[in-house]
Amino acid sequence: MGFDIRLPIGLMFTLLGALLAVYGWMTRGSSSYVEHSLGLNVNAWWGLVLLGFGLALLCLAEIRRRRSLF
């Protein structure tokens, strides 16, 4: 069984995505962000995208780990 790069990268993207999504959620009513992003909460949306990507990588790493056990 070798080293799977998807595990640390998945952890990094999951952590950063969660932090960015929480930050976006906490600043959702700020007028300065609304002016610069055309009314979209870009931090929250990209945080969710990064979180989903990180979780997908973690799932793929887990599938690989389980297949290599047999």
Domain limits for position 21: 6-68
DSSP class of residue 29 equals: T
pLDDT digits (tens, 9 = 90+) for 13-67: 999 999 999 999 998 887 777 778 888 889 999 999 999 999 999 999 999 988 8
pTM: 0.85
Q: How many domains are contained in the chain?
A: 1
Residue 17 lies in a domain: yes
Residue 1 lies in a domain: no
Residue 43 lies in a domain: yes
CA 2 to chain centroid: 25
CA angle 14, 33, 38 (to 5 degrees): 100
From residue 55, how far is each of 3, 58, 61, 62 by CA, in Å? Answer: 18, 5, 10, 10
